[in-house]
A and B are shown apart, each in its own frame.
Chain A
Amino acid sequence: MQTEELLMALTNAVGPSGREDRAAQILIDFFTTGEGRPWITALERDRLGNIILRKEGSSPQPPRLMLAAHLDEIGLIVTSFEEGFLRFSPIGGVDQRVLPGQEVIVHGREDLPGVIGAKPPHLQQPDESKKAVKIEDMVIDLGLAADRMAALVHVGDPVTIKRDCCALRNNFYAGKAMDDRASVVALVECLRRLKDFRHEAEVLAVITVQEELGVRGALVSAYGLNPDLGIAVDVTHGEMPGLADYEGFKLGQGPAIVTGPPVHPLIFEKLKTAAEAGKVKYQVEAEVTPRGTDAYAIQIAQAGVASGLVSITLRYMHTTVETLALDDLKETGRLLAEFVTQIDRGFLEGLACY
Chain B
Amino acid sequence: MLLKELSELNGVSSNETAVRHFIRDRIQGKVGTLHTDRLGNLIASKGQDKKGPKIMLSAHMDEVGLMVVGIEASGLLKIKAVGGVDERVLLSKRVLVGPQQIPGVIGAKPIHLQEREERQKPVPLSALFVDIGATDRSDAEKAVKIGDLIAFDTKADCFGDGLFKGKALDDRAGCAVLLNLIENEYDLPLYYAFTVQEEVGLRGATVAAYGINPDFALVVETTSAGDVPPLKKHQASTRLGHGPAISFMDRSVIVQPKLVETLVAVAETAGLPYQFRQTTTGGTEAGAINQTRAGIPAAVISIPCRYIHSPVSVLNLNDFQATVKLIDAVLKNIEQRGLPV
Given contacts A118-B89, A167-B103, A316-B107, 11 further A-B contacts (CB under 8 A): A83-B229, A101-B90, A113-B165, A115-B307, A119-B86, A120-B86, A120-B310, A237-B110, A315-B107, A316-B109, A317-B111
Q: Which of B46-82 contact A (CB under 8 A)?
A: 72, 74, 76
Shortest beta-carbon distance from A9 to chain B in Å: 18
Beta-carbon contact of A316 and B108 below 8 Å: yes
Minimal Cβ-Cβ distance residue in A for B114: A95
Beta-carbon contact of B159 and A168 below 8 Å: no
* A34 sits at the interface (CB 8 A): no
Pull 15 A–B residue pairs with CB atoms less than 8 Å apart, ordered by A: A95-B119, A97-B119, A97-B122, A97-B123, A100-B88, A113-B165, A117-B312, A117-B314, A120-B310, A129-B122, A142-B159, A171-B133, A241-B76, A316-B131, A319-B110
- Chain A 216-244 per-residue mask, 1 if CB under 8 angstroms from chain B, else 0: 00000000000000000000010111110
Which single member of A94, A120, A121, A169 contacts B139 (CB below 8 Å)? A169
* B143 sits at the interface (CB 8 A): yes
Beta-carbon contact of B160 and A131 below 8 Å: no
- Chain B 121-142 per-residue mask, 1 if CB under 8 angstroms from chain A, else 0: 1110001010111110001000
* B237 sits at the interface (CB 8 A): yes
Q: Which of A178-203 contact B (CB under 8 A)?
A: none
Q: Which of A85-99 contact B (CB under 8 A)?
A: 85, 93-98
Which single member of B84, B94, B109 contacts A121 (CB below 8 Å)? B84
Which single member of A94, A130, A141, A148 contacts B122 (CB below 8 Å)? A130
Chain A residues near B110 (CB-CB < 8 A): 237, 316-319
Total interface residues on A, using CB and 8 Å? 65
A240 to B113, CA, bound (A): 12
* B335 sits at the interface (CB 8 A): no
- Chain A 151-178 per-residue mask, 1 if CB under 8 angstroms from chain B, else 0: 0000000000001001111111010000
Which single member of B113, B122, B127 contacts A247 (CB below 8 Å)? B113
> Hey, which bits of chain A sit against chain B, CB under 8 A?
82-83, 85, 93-98, 100-103, 112-115, 117-124, 129-134, 137, 139, 141-145, 148, 163, 166-172, 174, 237, 239-243, 247, 252, 292, 315-321, 323
A119 to B135, CA, bound (A): 36
* B279 sits at the interface (CB 8 A): yes
Beta-carbon contact of B134 and A142 below 8 Å: no
- Chain B 152-192 per-residue mask, 1 if CB under 8 angstroms from chain A, else 0: 00100101111101000000000000000000000000000
Shortest beta-carbon distance from A234 to chain B in Å: 12
Minimal Cβ-Cβ distance residue in B for A113: B159
Minimal Cβ-Cβ distance residue in A for B316: A143
Given contacts A166-B94, A317-B112, A321-B107, contact A141 B306 (CB under 8 A): yes
Which single member of B94, B161, B231 contacts A119 (CB below 8 Å)? B231
Minimal Cβ-Cβ distance residue in B for A98: B92
> Hey, which bits of chain B sit against chain A, CB under 8 A?
72, 74, 76, 84-94, 102-114, 119-123, 127, 129, 131-135, 139, 143, 154, 157, 159-163, 165, 224, 226, 228-231, 235, 237, 279, 281-282, 306-312, 314
Minimal Cβ-Cβ distance residue in B for A136: B230
Shortest beta-carbon distance from A99 to chain B in Å: 8
Minimal Cβ-Cβ distance residue in B for A102: B92
Chain B residues near A252 (CB-CB < 8 A): 135
Beta-carbon contact of B132 and A118 below 8 Å: no
Beta-carbon contact of B86 and A118 below 8 Å: yes
Beta-carbon contact of B122 and A117 below 8 Å: no
Chain B residues near A85 (CB-CB < 8 A): 228-229
Given contacts A163-B94, A166-B94, contact A132 B121 (CB under 8 A): yes
A114 to B306, CA, bound (A): 13
Given contacts A139-B229, A241-B127, contact A321 B307 (CB under 8 A): no
Chain B residues near A82 (CB-CB < 8 A): 229
Shortest beta-carbon distance from B38 to chain A in Å: 30
A102 to B307, CA, bound (A): 11
Minimal Cβ-Cβ distance residue in B for A121: B84
Minimal Cβ-Cβ distance residue in A for B227: A83
A190 to B291, CA, bound (A): 70
Beta-carbon contact of B105 and A321 below 8 Å: yes
Beta-carbon contact of B119 and A139 below 8 Å: no
Which single member of B105, B122, B311 contacts A101 (CB below 8 Å)? B311
Chain A residues near B86 (CB-CB < 8 A): 118-121, 124, 129
